[in-house]
Structure 1
């Protein structure tokens, strides 16, 4: 009975169990299960190392564990190492831990147009932001800028990944919010980020990795101004499909996963 899960702190809000559960059901994978694994940072290494012995085949990793996930892995993909963070762990024979990052290809797959030759502004400097910056750079974006509330973190990320750190938001083709702003209190979104609602109209596409019931304030503002949007659930589906395929060895039922993540009954 292979087990799967999502490691995070907090993780109660995660739609991954519904999404992966829908995929398991759609494919009839008998005995497979997927669950939330709430783990505080101080217990992360100990918990992860115990998962293979508890029957786990793999686990997704979310805030704040993505960099720690890479650090404890026995081996990792080149992409995960270059990004410096992992969101997918696979447990192999003998208990070894393999790390990958599906956030990067998941971001590119979720965009309404190829990033090659485009400009981008990324908000945040954590594990997800690292994957997004790396993905945009590797996909041929003409310019990638990073903003963070702590300028030093943006500067370090920019130096490590060969992009620019900026002190303020500016117009670009693509805006990606990789911060957790808007997860719990949408009313503070534009107080904590370096732009207001009207400024969302300066982008051709806005991606918000945050998801919640209903649109985030960023997504809502962008929709009102006719901007193409990618919400956090679509990003979740695209990166999750790649994780699912790595664990099961079968093609992910993307539509079933999308319906599961969004709470849409299967047809």
Structure 2
């Protein structure tokens, strides 16, 4: 491929662990689309310069956004869909040739896909984290009419502010507090990721019917998921949300639907790449 091909990318700090180029590259090859998808390390201090440079590049189609930029990028993009108000974080920025940058969020839809596929019908959830990913997941849970939500965060005040902002009656507790019983436990932090501290939770309060969903995908088999499986709980790994949100972004960047009938082959590729 040459440097003149249209391209999208994922930005973050860190970014080396990202599997997004493998996912989008797999779909581009499958559909025989002549384009690229890259990963680019962008620090918080370099965010403004990054967008200034990319806006001048006619081959740039946009970017996905990962830790820690999902809130900060809202300052650089237009928001026709009201994502700032409804979710409070963006993970996808699309470049309109000769026009503004358009921000949206595919995390919420990507998170929901496996729950909808499995017919999940719970009414209570514990959400670990209060960052950009947690904002999208909280929005998604509210769309499922989950009426009892607890946020566990390093700073419970930040978690409570997130609930208040979303207009959700819930409660916020610290990471060292006891895990309450719930139908769904979601890790929306980087805890458990390669190079990060583990997420050490006592899962005994969860009912046997509970589902544990960890959005971390590097490693795919996190300590949290291992502990959940040891208890016989249903689990959803980070590739579920990663592939789901990527498919929505793929359509935005490349104007084509991702070939989801190849998901099994894609998962095998991503697992082998660990």
TM-score, length basis structure 1: 0.89
Give the number of equivalent residue pairs: 260
Moved more, 197-206 or 165-174: 197-206
1:19 to 7, 19, 23: 23
C-alpha spacing 1:98/1:187, structure 2 compared with 1 (3 Å): closer
Superposed, 1:1-267 pairs within 5 Å as: 1-30=5-34, 32-54=35-57, 55-111=59-115, 113-114=118-119, 118-163=123-168, 164-167=170-173, 168=177, 169-184=179-194, 188-190=198-200, 195-199=201-205, 204-256=210-262, 259-260=265-266, 262-263=268-269
TM-score, length basis structure 2: 0.87
Structure 2's unaligned 5+ residue stretches are none
C-alpha deviation, 1:255, in angstroms: 4.4
Moved more, 220-229 or 47-56: 47-56
C-alpha deviation, 1:57, in angstroms: 0.5
Structure 1's unaligned 5+ residue stretches are none
Structure 2 distance, partners of 1:20, 1:125, is 28
Secondary structure of the equivalent of 1:20?
A: helix
The answer as to whether partners of 1:21 and 1:260 remain within 8 angstroms in 2 is no
The answer as to whether partners of 2:135 and 2:162 remain within 8 angstroms in 1 is yes
C-alpha deviation, 1:202, in angstroms: 5.5
| Deviation sequence 1:4-28 (CA, Å, 0-9, x none) | 1001000000000001100100000
Q: Note the aligned Cα RMSD (angstroms).
A: 2.1
Whichever structure has more helix as a proportion of its residues is: 1
C-alpha spacing 1:200/1:181, structure 2 compared with 1 (3 Å): farther
C-alpha deviation, 1:135, in angstroms: 0.7
Moved more, 140-149 or 15-24: 140-149
The answer as to whether partners of 2:64 and 2:249 remain within 8 angstroms in 1 is yes
| Deviation sequence 1:54-110 (CA, Å, 0-9, x none) | 221011000000011222212342345310100011000214100110101111112
